[in-house]
Amino acid sequence: MNKVLIIGGHGKIALLLAPLLKAAGMDVTAVIRNAAHIDDVAETGATPVVHDVASSSPAELAELFAGQDAIVWSAGAGGGSQERTYAVDRDAAIASMDAAVAAGVQRYVMVSYLGAGSDHGVPPENSFFAYAEAKAAADAHLRSAGALAWTILAPGALTMDAPTGLIDPTPAPQRDGSDAGSTSRANVALVAAAVLQRPDTIMRTIDFSDGDVAIEQALNP
């Protein structure tokens, strides 16, 4: 794994992930929508590329992805309108998967959330509903993309706590839904960096929150 492209390169997880990948000897490209974020991304060691994935066709994205070994989706609408949520978290994500296949990219890592799926249980009147629906559709599309060696990361509620390198890999169905566990973005970045170097995480959904199991151990099948 030499060349990795992060979509959502100015997001909090992406800004923590890029230096980890650089330290592992990878060539990192970070795709951002706002040119004002170029310097922030460059400070991580990644090469910033300004490109609006939400307004791009799969063919345009395939051109952007050419030559990459892996794609990490860490973008999100950030709680905007339902229309924006579906456009980014569902439609653009799915287009990026199709583009990755067209470009010959082998590896794809999706940052999702703990409990994502068609049975997410979020009622339509809840403000989280559009995001839950969008993620369910995107994750399902990725699982059906046979040409991609995919991994879906499903962390609990995100925090800005310091990294510990310790997680709880209990699957979502085995958790108490009222207390699924929080997850530091720094630990999400550590898990993302780890799965990119572990073939045994391919074709797996990794449910996790902060816990007391070392990441390398927790990722064992």
178 compared with 156, residue with greater pLDDT: 156
Question: Residue 12 pLDDT more than 90?
Answer: yes
Instruction: Indicate the domain borders of the chain.
Output: 3-218
Segment 62-76 mean pLDDT: 97
Q: Which of 85, 62, 65, 61 is nearest to 75 (CA)?
A: 85
Q: Residue with structure tokens 């287009």?
A: 95
End-to-end CA, the chain: 21
What is the rounded distance in angstroms from the CA atom of residue 161 to the CA atom of residue 32?
Answer: 24
3-state secondary structure 152-169: EEEECEEECCCCCCEEEC
List, for residues 118-139, the tens digit of each pLDDT value. Answer: 888 888 888 889 999 999 999 9
Strands 213-214 and 166-168: antiparallel
List, for residues 26-61, the tens digit of each pLDDT value. Answer: 999 999 999 999 999 999 999 999 999 999 999 999
Q: Tell me which of 80-84, 141-145, 213-217 is least confident.
A: 80-84
Question: Residue 187 pLDDT more than 90?
Answer: yes
How far is C-alpha 60 from the geometric centre of its chain's CA atoms? 20
Tokens representing residue 186 in the block: 């720094």
77 compared with 163, residue with greater pLDDT: 163
Segment 135-160 mean pLDDT: 96
Question: Residue 2 pLDDT more than 80?
Answer: yes
Question: What percent of the chain has pLDDT above 90?
Answer: 84
Q: Tell me which of 3-12, 19-28, 123-132 is least confident.
A: 123-132
Tell me which DSSP letter residue 73 carries. Answer: E
| Mean pLDDT of the chain, nearest integer | 94
pLDDT for the residue 179: 59
Which SS3 state, helix, strand or coil, does residue 87 take?
A: helix
Counting every residue written for the chain, the total comes to: 221
Segment 139-144 mean pLDDT: 97
SS3 content of the chain, % helix, strand, coil (to 5): 40, 20, 35
Tell me which DSSP letter residue 88 carries. Answer: I
Class of domain 3-218: alpha beta
pLDDT for the residue 77: 75
Tell me how far CA of residue 37 lies from CA of 9, 32, 48, 78, 219, in angstroms: 9, 7, 8, 16, 33
Q: What is the dihedral of CA 163, 168, 171, 174, to 10 degrees?
A: -130
Segment 209-221 mean pLDDT: 97
pLDDT for the residue 178: 53
Q: Residue with structure tokens 């409990």?
A: 115
What is the rounded distance in angstroms from the CA atom of residue 157 to the CA atom of residue 151?
Answer: 19
Residue 173 binned pLDDT confidence (cut-offs 50, 70, 90): confident
Instruction: Give the type of residue at 215.
Output: I
